[in-house]
Structure formats: structure tokens, C-alpha cells
Amino acid sequence: MKKQKHKKIAKPALESKPGSRKLNLRPSTARAILTKAAGTNPQRVHAILEKLDEAYPDVTCALVHENPFQLLISTILSAQCTDVRVNLVTKELFKKYRTPKDFAYADPNELEQDIRPTGFFRNKTKSIIGASKKLLEEFAGEVPRTMEEVLTLPGAARKTANVVLGTAYGIASGVVVDTHVARLSERLDLSRNTDPRKIEQDLMKIIPREKWILFSHQLIWHGRKICQARKPRCAECNLERLCYSSDKTV
Ligand code: SF4
């Protein structure tokens, strides 16, 4: 008896670009299929995490600090400023102001000048003095250990809280979403949102909780070194075979 020939059906290739002609689908349809099949597919997410672990096994926050309070101050200063510049400023700042009390009762005009190179120095001064006072008045001068409490400090939004809780205390309350994490989440098709809060929610659903802290640092380092905003260095990227971003340069 003759074997019946089966027609070959093309499968969506995980590593092909959305809108691949092989599927003969409209780009939007192909992209929708790829989103379900590829974007946040647990196997693909696992493969991305493995590649990040290979490239960045033990990265951490680049802000130089000696305790949770210094990290809080540095993170407030890092808004719209590079970590390198923040570290230059805090090198002298933390010699001059050593405790929450020193910052809480600092002369605002003087503190403004001390942190001026980090930009937005008037608002940052208000946040630093306000946060230091709140720590003294309500938390015995210690940075608290819950998201809810950290969010009550002036100048501390979820990003700051996640940095401080994750890096200083090893508490995984969420995923840090800064400009690098937002860009890479979009390029790697891990989130279709642009609002950092929503991106964080998307990432928290697909990344295992025990990886939240390291994963944030890994994406930040990858964003700085390889997947740069203007011209990603895709030829050097170990995620290249898993990435179908339209920004790819290879
Ligand atoms: S392949 Fe290019 S765009 Fe994709 S993650 Fe790597 S550097 Fe970024």
C-alpha cells in the first residue's frame, strides 16, 4: 500500500523576523503569532535568562555605596544622570554628610551646590532632605524593608524602592525598570508596554521571582555594554539568535 504524502506545513520560526514570508501572513498576524509563540514563551524566556547568566553571572548595582542609606541617596541622585557621574559626586558627598541626620539638617543651598552636577539638583535636594527627615522621624534612621514603606519616602518611586530593597537587602519586591530595562524588554519582545509600571508587571509574570534582582542588573549591564540605545552591537550580542527586534544591526 502506497504511503500517503502529507503536505508540509510551515511552522513559525522562533528566530525569524515578524512578517517572515515563509508563513505568507500579513505582518500584524505573523507578529501576533510570534508574540504568543515566541515573545514570552517560557522556553524562550528560559533561554534568554541562561544567556544573560552566561554573560553576566554576578553583576550588581553600579552605584558605589556602603550601606542601604547611601544607596537610597545615590539612587535618588541617579534620576536622569549616569551612575558614573553619581559616583563621582557621592565620593565627596558621603565624606561630608555621613548620616541621615547630616542630610536632614543640611543647608539646602549648600546641598544643592554639592549635588549640582547630577542635574535637577533643587528637586533632588528636597527629596534627599525630605527622605532623611522621614527616616529619622518614622523609621529610627533606618531604610525600611518593605515596598510600601519605602514608597512613603519623598523622592522614592518603585524603581528606587526596587534598587534599594533588592541590592541592599536582597529583597525581591519587583523588577527595576530603568531606561535600559524598558528598551531591552521591548527589543526582546518581553513586554509591549511603554509605561514602566506595566513593563514591570509584565516582567514579574514571566521571570521567576528568585531571578528578579539579578535579571534587572543583567539587563542594565547588557543595555550599557551591548544593546545600546542608538546603535545596538548585535554582532557581539549572545542573545542575537533569540532576538528579532526591528532595531537589530545584523
Ligand atoms: S541582538 Fe541586538 S537588538 Fe537584540 S538584544 Fe542583542 S544587541 Fe539588542
For 176-191, what is each residue's pLDDT tens digit?
999 999 999 999 999 9
CA distance 79 to 120: 8
**Ligand 1 pocket at CB < 6 A:** 187-188, 226-227, 232-234, 237, 239-240, 243, 245, 247-248
Question: What single-letter amino acid sits at 79?
Answer: A
Closest by CA to 49, choosing from 188, 150, 170, is: 188
More confident residue, 31 or 13: 31
Q: What is the pTM of this model?
A: 0.83
| Grid cell of 82 as nine digits | 549616569
- Top mutation candidate among 14, 190, 236, 239 for ligand 1, by most atoms within 8 Å of CB: 239
- pLDDT band at residue 27 under the 50/70/90 scheme: low
With beta carbons less than 8 A apart as the criterion, state whether 54 and 238 touch.
yes
CA distance 198 to 27: 25
